[in-house]
Structure 1
Amino acid sequence: MTLTRYPLSTGVDLDVQTAGDRAAPPVILLHGFPESHRTWRHIVPDLARDHFVVAPDQRGYARSSKPAAVEDYAPDRIVGDLLALADELGIGRFTLVGHDWGGAVAWMAALTRPDRVERLVIVNAPHPYVFQRSLFEDAEQRTASQYITRFRDTNLDRSILAKGLEHFLSTSFAGHVATAIAGEDKAAYLDEWSQPGALTAMLNWYRASSIVVPAPGEDAPRPAFLDRPFPPVTQRTLVVWGTQDKALLPVQVDGLDELVPDLTVAKVDAGHFVPWQNPDAVIRAMRDWGI
């Protein structure tokens, strides 16, 4: 996994894995929390057979730049990185694939820049409207999402460091994919999380988000945009969904076609970390869909 560091017009430097022929159709892969380009390590070799594949370590992760302010991790800043990276690589329109927070960025990029995002693949990442609505209308999803409130607590960073990164890995990540995260991959993640400011930078993605997460039973003010028309995703879209996800429940897929007219949903046997838990199913779903 050779990485190249790219200074971007957004003021950050990103480490980026690329693979395949630069003349082939481009695919950009966006990882989520608490990962890096390694999310896609079982996916990249297959896609690189006939695509130019780009997998960045997004801002705040691994050894990519880690701006200090919470607002530096607002979704529009990260979409800006995506487009600046595409520009740096001479990519115009591209297929965009995102998992977890990378999927949240992918949804936003598709909605705001259809001139650049040609096709969209989402892997266990909720549509922003569906997710916010579910936090007000679905008690089970609200309960399952309380971890977001915990991650927004600025005392958490010190607590994680006090308990040790091995504990963080076993409770937040590897506990879900214990058979996949070992050896070189485990060592790499522990090293990346130990970089100065890394934990705070990763958690700042949650702190910069405008998503409202009411406490269970709380009668919180309902965001006004939930009661207004929401723009559709115009791109052809594939949603690959691990059905055993305990954080993002099936309500995230129910009725999604109302907001994504050209939608294909592929449900696979996996939890939240689908690219680790069942990469063959992810590859098969994408290939069957036409990538």
Structure 2
Amino acid sequence: MSDPLLRRISLATGVALDVAIAGDPAKPAIFLLHGFPESHRTWRHQIPELARDYFVVAPDQRGFARSSKPEGVDSYGPGKAAGDLLALADHLGVGRFTLVGHDWGGAIAWMAALQNPQRVARLIIVNAPHPLVFQRALFDDPAQRKASQYITRFRDTTIDQGLVGAGLERFFASTFTRHLVSAVAGEDKAAYLDEWSQPGAMTAMLNWYRASPIVVPAPDAEPERPAWLDAPFPPIVQPTLVIWGMRDFALLPGQLALADLVPDLTIARIEDGGHFVPWEKPEAVTAAMRKWLAAHPVR
């Protein structure tokens, strides 16, 4: 399958990414980062809308779809993907930009905003947990700990051998669709199966979970509590919009306890949206973005 929006871009980080680019490069830049198990198509409804006023850049991140899939779990740590983001901005001649992230893309967005305030001017997070809030919840909130046990399953490398051929259909029908509030069929289903069937794609995507430093205790475990969970944590200095599909079964509403960590915070709750709210409820997501962006011009 081909996408007329996509450009292949080789980065200084050693990977080549397929990148959807739309809009006028002279306009303010907005970068859109997808999560698991998707691609730039996460933003298929937002890209044309945002391109009316912004230079829109939406990469297929390393390991996903037809972008590079370097060997080894260590190649998928969050620092690697954050490095790709900055290298992509450099390649395109973009200095400061607005950053949007969903799911794993949101994890990278939180990190990039914390570490690079000189580059990330504004932050939009869509159903992606703040690293401190999430790790605390995995120790302190039994419901969130239970909901996150899928991470432990994804870290089991023995599952990879079954994620080919008919195994991808089973993954789609069970693991993926149980997190949806909208049905996926036809062209959209075909696009997922095509992306997942690329050589090495499923292992590379799952390696994001395997490389993550997040600790997921077993439901009945009483592990030693990391000291950093109760230590001071740097705040997000950028104006931040958090859009949350409230029917997210993997990331529970407690993840919105962000006020102490994000001083300039706006939360847009989408009550009938699930984890994949950018395309499940695209009009609501796009409207929330555009309203907030207009009210928070880049300084």
Normalising TM by the smaller chain, what interval? over 0.9
> What SS does the corresponding residue of 1:97 show, helix, strand or coil?
strand
Rounded to whole Å, the distance in 2 between the matches of 1:160 and 1:21 is 40
Alignment-derived partner of residue 257 in structure 1: 259
Alignment-derived partner of residue 116 in structure 2: 113
Q: How does 1:1-291 map to 2 (within 5 A)?
A: 1-2=3-4, 3-161=6-164, 163-177=166-180, 179=182, 181-254=184-257, 256-268=258-270, 269-291=272-294
User: Is the CA contact (8 Å cut-off) linking 1:135 and 1:142 kept in structure 2?
Assistant: yes
Q: What is the letter of the counterpart of residue 84 of structure 2? A: D
165-174 vs 142-151, greater mean Cα deviation: 165-174
Deviations along 1:4-39, one digit per CA (max 9) or x if unpaired, are: 000000000000000011111100000000000000
Rounded to whole Å, the distance in 2 between the matches of 1:179 and 1:257 is 31
User: Is the CA contact (8 Å cut-off) linking 1:15 and 1:57 kept in structure 2?
Assistant: yes
User: Is the CA contact (8 Å cut-off) linking 1:152 and 1:204 kept in structure 2?
Assistant: yes
Q: CA deviation at 1:185?
A: 2.1
Rounded to whole Å, the distance in 2 between the matches of 1:153 and 1:163 is 19
User: Is the CA contact (8 Å cut-off) linking 1:30 and 1:103 kept in structure 2?
Assistant: yes
User: Is the CA contact (8 Å cut-off) linking 1:177 and 1:276 kept in structure 2?
Assistant: no
User: Is the CA contact (8 Å cut-off) linking 2:76 and 2:211 kept in structure 1?
Assistant: yes
Q: CA deviation at 1:284?
A: 1.0
Rounded to whole Å, the distance in 1 between the matches of 2:223 and 2:123 is 33
Q: CA deviation at 1:165?
A: 1.1
Q: What is the letter of the counterpart of residue 192 of structure 1? A: E
Deviations along 1:76-133, one digit per CA (max 9) or x if unpaired, are: 0110000000001111000000000000000000000111100000000000000000
User: Is the CA contact (8 Å cut-off) linking 1:96 and 1:106 kept in structure 2?
Assistant: yes
> What SS does the corresponding residue of 2:191 show, helix, strand or coil?
helix
5-14 vs 175-184, greater mean Cα deviation: 175-184
Q: CA deviation at 1:175?
A: 4.4
> What SS does the corresponding residue of 1:161 show, helix, strand or coil?
coil
Deviations along 1:198-256, one digit per CA (max 9) or x if unpaired, are: 000000000000000000120111122112100000000000000000100011002x0
> What SS does the corresponding residue of 2:286 show, helix, strand or coil?
helix
Task: Count the aligned residue pairs.
Answer: 290
Structure 2 residues not aligned, in runs of 5+: 295-299
Q: What is the letter of the counterpart of residue 153 of structure 1? A: D
Q: What is the letter of the counterpart of residue 174 of structure 2? A: T
Q: What is the letter of the counterpart of residue 62 of structure 2? A: R
Alignment-derived partner of residue 297 in structure 2: none
Rounded to whole Å, the distance in 1 between the matches of 2:238 and 2:292 is 13
* TM-score of the aligned structures, taking structure 1 as reference length: 0.97
Rounded to whole Å, the distance in 1 between the matches of 2:148 and 2:180 is 20
Rounded to whole Å, the distance in 2 between the matches of 1:285 and 1:40 is 14
> What SS does the corresponding residue of 1:118 show, helix, strand or coil?
strand
155-164 vs 35-44, greater mean Cα deviation: 155-164
> What SS does the corresponding residue of 1:9 show, helix, strand or coil?
coil
* TM-score of the aligned structures, taking structure 2 as reference length: 0.94
165-174 vs 20-29, greater mean Cα deviation: 165-174
Identity among equivalent positions (%) equals 68
Q: What is the letter of the counterpart of residue 208 of structure 1? A: A
Q: CA deviation at 1:52?
A: 0.5
Moved over 3 A (4+): 174-180
